[in-house]
Amino acid sequence: MPRTLVLVRHGQSEWNLKNLFTGWKDPDLTEKGIAEASAGGERLKAAGIKPDIAFTSELLRAQHTLSLVLDALGQTGLETIRDVALNERDYGDLSGLNKDDARQKWGEDQVHVWRRSYDVPPPGGESLKDTGARVWPYYIHRIQPKVLAGGTVLVAAHGNSLRALVMALEGLSGEEIVGQEIATGVPIVYRLNADSTVAEKTILEA
């Protein structure tokens, strides 16, 4: 499969389980998250997809997910590039807070706006638009050229950094992308045309 881009959101993290805003905090995967990541790797293997290079964030949960995926693929020595540009959205003052406690402090409506609007950041943090502002140039300059050269590129990252990528790849609006859910550990496989547009999208669900 030439010109293939694979996106994988990290498996469930310890803070996902505790219903905490995580952002740039660095918890590891839960047992469920480990199983999700390994299963995602097995589905890539079953689909015959072998990446030529991998990219991930500077955060442990994404790196651990990538290592489990590569282990399932039998490619533990694959060249891997880590970069802060692929980190999760920074939740600022919300980071580390229980989502229910945040609703009590700021109100349900305000927290909903911070979580699900496109361009309204939480205090001290990033909006999805801000996240995209660092993800998109990195993709264009570092990842996309390797895909367009005919390679298969694996990106293991986070719900919002991947949302920003999906938005660009699929030409979605800010309103459309905030409603998109990206499942933990489930590979999304894009095959690109030579002009970088999407020729085909496949979600490798269980």
> What is the C-alpha separation between 158 and 29, in angstroms, rounded?
13
Does residue 1 register a pLDDT over 90? no
DSSP for the chain, written as a single string:
--SEEEEEEPPPBHHHHTTB--TT----B-HHHHHHHHHHHHHHHHTT---SEEEE-SSHHHHHHHHHHHHHHT-TT--EEE-GGGSPPP-GGGTT-BHHHHHHHH-HHHHHHHHH-SS-PPTTS--HHHHHHHHHHHIIIIIHHHHHTT-EEEEEE-HHHHHHHHHHHHT--HHHHTT----BT--EEEEE-TTS-EEEEEE---
The mean pLDDT value for 43-54 works out to 98
| Domain, as residue range, for 39 | 4-90+127-203
Q: Is residue 109 part of a domain?
A: no
88 catalytic per annotation? yes
- Segment 53-64 shows an average pLDDT of 98
Q: Is residue 116 part of a domain?
A: no
Asked if the structure places residue 158 within a domain, the reply is yes
107 part of a folded domain: no
pLDDT digits (tens, 9 = 90+) for 148-189: 999 999 999 999 999 999 999 999 999 999 989 999 999 999
Residue from 36, 64, 88, 158 carrying the catalytic annotation: 88
> One of 10, 36, 64, 158 is an active-site residue; which one?
10
| pLDDT in the model for residue 179 | 87
Mean pLDDT in residue range 69-90: 98
Residue 144 lies in a domain: yes
19 lies in some domain? yes
User: CATH number for the domain including 142?
Assistant: 3.40.50.1240
Judging by DSSP bridges, how do beta strands 198-203 and 152-157 pair with one another? unpaired
Please report where in the chains the tokens 């964030």 appear, as a residue. Answer: 57
Q: Is the pLDDT of residue 202 over 90?
A: yes
Query: What is the CB neighbour count within 10 angstroms for residue 158?
Result: 27
Q: Considering the chain, what is the average pLDDT of its residues?
A: 97
Tokens standing for residue 49? 């997809």
pLDDT of residue 206: 80
Q: How far apart are CA 177 and CA 116, in angstroms?
A: 9
Q: For 108-138, write each residue's pLDDT tens digit.
A: 999 999 999 999 999 999 999 999 999 999 9
10 carries an active-site annotation:
yes
Is the pTM higher than 0.85? yes
Report how many domains make up the chain.
Answer: 1
In a domain, 189, yes or no: yes
Does residue 57 belong to any structural domain of this protein?
yes
